[in-house]
């Protein structure tokens, strides 16, 4: 069974998914960050593949992408860094990024490499469902990769049903109309949206992302979903961390409320 | 072979809508409604009335006798520089603001490189009483100061894009982000034939008035409604799309595109996408773009802010791949020489962008009985500081 499905089928507590930019804060920190995230108790790790023009992301993640690229990060180098990750990492690992670097690597070669190093799924926000279904779904499935699709407060019910039917693993529920890190906290309007989606009885579980930055917002989001995703707040923290591993462990535990 | 968009939003292998879900409702609303909106008689009436009385259309098709003499052929200049606001860009912003109104939007966001599209957008927002935010690369804000002042005079809010190369590509990213963050009340007026479907097609349709006029004006002047060559500069490609549009299926007309080769195609400081680019996805569509082996966008360079873009629209990528259009790389220096030549032979100071198209005469070797139309996409007032610096304009 894919590690993502296994996780959701046995989870008893809210699931925490943390996004980190590969090759950040320093080029060779990727595995250090992954190991510390797991040690802290993260349930899913989302590894960002740096891109020069990440339009769905806000300033924090864009700057981390830029720094990683300047330090020499590339898709090929990331696979090199991840090649032995399954010797220590047991939690599901997703790669998040933009479609162009994947196209340049070659979609089939990319998916094969993901399977080889033990990546469980992909989040490619600018690969829309229609293009995915027309050109890439068969390749993803051949390599057992889950394609995680997004929904937003503006996505209509019919389209949500369609996304649900194409999705495997979980649905990435964007909490508000925004780029990453643009807003923090959960408003009353958002809670209405969360419960509307919860009442749709979708076949896939949902994780809520965008605007989650602390224990309180994590718990609030998790009330109407299986858990939540943290990105910008984590990237901001590691950008300034002096003792990377220790601070990551402490951060994860504080989000989960375990310290 | 078709050179127009298909129902999936593709031109051959290029096009589509590669957008994050956050933009899907906006783009889908536009896609599902733009053709019907444009076809409405009330839209057509309002659009054409504004083009005539506000923009000043039709723009003249001027026989450039002295240039014709020098190159021993028949050169016509399509005077988009005489449009209100000084460039062809306003044809599209008039069209899009009318679409935005009919979609019930109250706010406009746009990106701009040279500032011509920003000025054109700020102008139509003032005309229609809509709020206007224009993203512009921090570097472009410096080198196109007169246009920044014009946008502010018109009441627009000009926001510097400070990421990446701080030019048009980054202004486009920031405008897209703004749209993601304001999805309900805002329409994004893209200034070129780039972006997710339906933008390339919609912008091309609004700019098609250029080639429509060339046809009847040539009929009047030469007794035939097609030229042997149409030349236009290509950054994203909107003025070229407009100048080519009604000749796409006219085999007697050769389509010539001038790209900015900067300091030289292989100098590492260039924006000549068809020479340096590969297929990929940038700003919401699959087209040709300049990128590293790893798929990271390469920052372009051109003396002209309007051509300083690492991609071209999907229609142009298809015209290039199919061989329907011929692309030339024109350096900064060649463009400067051509700008001086046009100024001093015809009394018309062209925009730096246009100067790239004018530089093609030298290589074209058109015959004495042939007709060449070049689209003068904009006027050079905004570029006077650059001309002054580079050409040392002293007595």
Q: What is the Cα–Cα distance from B275 to B265, expressed in whole angstroms?
A: 7
Show which residues on chain A lie within 8 Å of chain B, measured between beta carbons. 51-53, 55-56, 58-59, 62, 66, 69, 74-76, 98-105, 125-128, 131, 149-152, 154-156, 159, 174, 177-179, 182
| Rg of the Cα atoms in chain B | 19
The model's pLDDT over B336-388, given as tens digits with 9 standing for 90+, comes to 999 999 999 999 999 999 999 999 998 999 999 999 999 999 999 989 989 99
Q: Taking every pair of C-alpha atoms in chain B, what is the biggest distance, in angstroms?
A: 58
Give, rounded to a whole angstrom, the gap between the first and last alpha carbons of chain B.
54
List CB contacts of B349: < 8 A, sequence separation 6 or more. B339, B342, B343, B379, B380, B381, B384, B387
d(CA A76, CA A104): 11
C-alpha closest to that of B117 among B83, B154, B88, B82: B88
Average pLDDT by consecutive 10-residue portion of chain A (259 residues)? 92 97 98 98 98 92 96 98 98 98 98 98 95 95 97 95 96 88 81 92 95 93 94 97 98 91
Residue B367 is a catalytic residue:
no
Helices A232-240 + A244-256 axis angle, to 10: 150
Report the C-alpha gap between B297 and B210 in whole angstroms. 32
Q: Do A128 and B17 touch (CB under 8 A)?
A: yes
Among chain B residues, the shortest Cα distance to A103 is held by: B280
For A104, nearest residue in chain B (alpha carbons): B295
How are strands ordered across the β-sheet holding B61-63?
B61-63, B74-79, B371-376, B229-234, B254-262, B325-331
Annotated catalytic residues of A are 46, 57
In three-state secondary structure terms, B288 is strand
Task: Report how far apart, in Å, the C-alpha atoms of B370 and of each of B11, B76, B211, B338 are.
Answer: 30, 11, 18, 21
Does residue A228 have a cis bond before it (omega within 30 degrees)?
no
Token duo for residue A108: 């089939």
Torsion of CA A151, A152, A154, A155, to 10 degrees: 0
- pLDDT truncated to tens, each residue of chain B (395 aa)? 899 999 999 999 999 999 999 999 999 999 999 999 999 999 999 999 999 999 999 999 999 999 999 999 999 999 999 999 999 999 999 999 999 999 999 999 999 988 999 999 999 999 999 999 999 999 889 888 889 999 999 999 999 998 877 888 889 999 999 999 898 899 999 999 999 999 999 999 999 999 999 999 999 999 999 999 999 999 999 999 999 999 999 999 999 999 999 999 999 999 999 999 999 999 999 999 999 999 999 989 999 988 999 999 999 999 999 999 999 999 999 999 999 999 999 999 999 999 999 999 989 999 999 999 999 999 999 899 899 999 988 77
The alpha carbon of B107 is separated from its chain's Cα centroid by a whole number of angstroms, namely 23
Hey, what are B136's tokens? 């512009």
Give B-chain residues touching A155 at CB under 8 angstroms.
21, 24-25
Write phi, then psi, for B105 (nearest 5 degrees).
-85, 150
Burial-class residue B78 by CB neighbours within 10 Å (0-12, 13-18, 19+). Answer: buried
Residues, chain B: 395
B60, burial (CB in 10 Å: exposed 0-12, middle 13-18, buried 19+): middle
CB contact under 8 A, A103 and B182: no
Q: What is the pLDDT of residues B23-51, one digit of tens each?
A: 999 999 999 999 999 999 999 999 999 99
Q: What are phi and psi of B229, to 5 degrees?
A: -140, 140
Q: Which of B68, B105, B111, B382 is catalytic?
A: B111
Q: Coil, strand or helix: which one is B110? A: strand
Determine whether B45 is an active site residue.
no
Does the distance separating the beta carbons of B181 and A177 come in below 8 Å? Answer: yes
Cα distance from N-terminal residue to C-terminal residue, chain A = 32
Q: From CA B365, how far away is CA B367, in angstroms rounded?
A: 6
CA-nearest residue to B28 within chain A is A155
How many whole angstroms separate alpha carbon B386 and alpha carbon B377?
18
Structure tokens at B277: 């680019």
ipTM surpasses 0.90: yes
Q: How far apart are CA A246 and CA A239, in angstroms?
A: 14
Among A63, A100, A148, most B C-beta atoms within 10 A, so best to mutate, is A100
């Amino acid at each position: 069974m894919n590690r993502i499905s296994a996780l959701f089928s046995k989870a008893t507590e809210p699931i925490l998914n943390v996004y980190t930019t590969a090759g950040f804060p320093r080029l060779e920190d990727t595995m250090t960050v992954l190991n510390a995230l797991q040690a802290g108790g993260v349930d899913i790790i989302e590894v960002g593949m740096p891109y020069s023009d990440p339009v769905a992301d806000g300033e924090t993640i864009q700057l981390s992408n830029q720094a990683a690229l300047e330090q020499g990060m590339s898709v090929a180098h990331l696979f090199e860094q991840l090649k032995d990750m399954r010797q220590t990492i047991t939690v599901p690992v997703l790669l998040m990024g933009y479609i162009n670097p994947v196209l340049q690597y070659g979609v089939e070669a990319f998916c094969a490499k993901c399977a080889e190093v033990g990546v469980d799924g992909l989040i490619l926000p600018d690969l829309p469902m229609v293009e995915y279904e027309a050109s890439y779904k068969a390749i993803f499935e051949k390599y057992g990769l889950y394609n995680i699709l997004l929904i937003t407060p503006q996505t209509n019910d019919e389209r949500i049903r369609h996304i649900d039917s194409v999705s495997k693993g979980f649905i990435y529920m964007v909490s508000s109309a925004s780029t990453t890190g643009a807003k923090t906290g959960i408003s009353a309007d958002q809670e209405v949206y969360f419960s509307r989606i919860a009442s749709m009885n979708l076949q896939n579980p949902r994780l809520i992302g965008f605007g989650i930055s602390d224990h309180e917002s994590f718990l609030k989001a998790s009330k109407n979903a299986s858990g939540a995703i943290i990105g910008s707040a984590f990237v901001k923290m590691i950008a300034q961390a002096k003792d990377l591993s220790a601070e990551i462990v402490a951060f994860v535990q504080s989000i989960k409320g375990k310290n | 072979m078709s050179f127009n968009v298909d129902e999936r939003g593709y031109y051959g292998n290029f096009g589509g809508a590669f957008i994050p879900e956050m933009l899907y409702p906006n783009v889908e609303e536009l896609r599902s409604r733009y053709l019907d909106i444009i076809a409405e008689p009330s839209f057509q009436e309002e659009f054409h009335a504004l083009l005539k009385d506000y923009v000043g259309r039709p723009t003249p098709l001027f026989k450039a006798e002295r240039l014709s003499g020098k190159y021993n052929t028949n050169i016509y200049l399509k005077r988009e520089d005489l449009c209100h606001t000084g460039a062809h860009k306003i044809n599209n912003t008039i069209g899009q603001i009318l679409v935005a109104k009919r979609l019930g939007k109250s706010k406009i966001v746009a990106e701009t490189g040279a500032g011509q599209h920003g000025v054109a957008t700020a102008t139509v927002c003032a005309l229609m009483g809509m709020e206007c935010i224009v993203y512009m690369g921090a570097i472009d804000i410096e080198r196109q100061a007169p246009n920044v002042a014009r946008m502010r005079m018109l009441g627009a809010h000009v926001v510097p894009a400070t990421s990446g190369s701080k030019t048009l590509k980054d202004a486009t990213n920031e405008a897209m982000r703004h749209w993601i963050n304001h999805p309900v009340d805002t329409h994004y007026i893209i200034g070129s034939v780039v972006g997710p479907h339906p933008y390339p097609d919609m912008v091309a349709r609004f700019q098609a008035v250029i080639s429509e006029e060339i046809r009847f004006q040539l009929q009047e002047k030469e007794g035939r409604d097609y030229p042997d060559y149409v030349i236009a500069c290509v950054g994203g490609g909107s003025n070229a799309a407009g100048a080519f549009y009604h000749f796409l299926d006219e085999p007697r007309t050769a389509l010539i595109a001038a790209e900015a080769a900067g300091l030289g195609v292989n100098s590492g400081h260039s924006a000549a996408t068809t020479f340096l680019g590969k297929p990929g996805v940038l700003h919401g569509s699959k087209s040709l773009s300049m990128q590293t082996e790893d798929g990271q966008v390469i920052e372009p360079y051109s003396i002209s802010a309007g051509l300083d873009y690492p991609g071209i629209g999907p229609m142009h990528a298809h015209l290039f791949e199919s061989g329907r259009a011929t692309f030339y790389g024109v350096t900064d220096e060649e463009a400067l020489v051509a700008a001086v030549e046009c100024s001093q032979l015809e009394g018309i100071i062209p925009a730096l962008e246009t100067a790239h198209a004018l530089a093609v005469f030298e290589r074209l070797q058109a015959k004495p009985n042939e007709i060449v139309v070049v689209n003068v996409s904009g006027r050079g007032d905004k570029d006077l500081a650059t001309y002054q610096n580079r050409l040392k304009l002293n007595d």
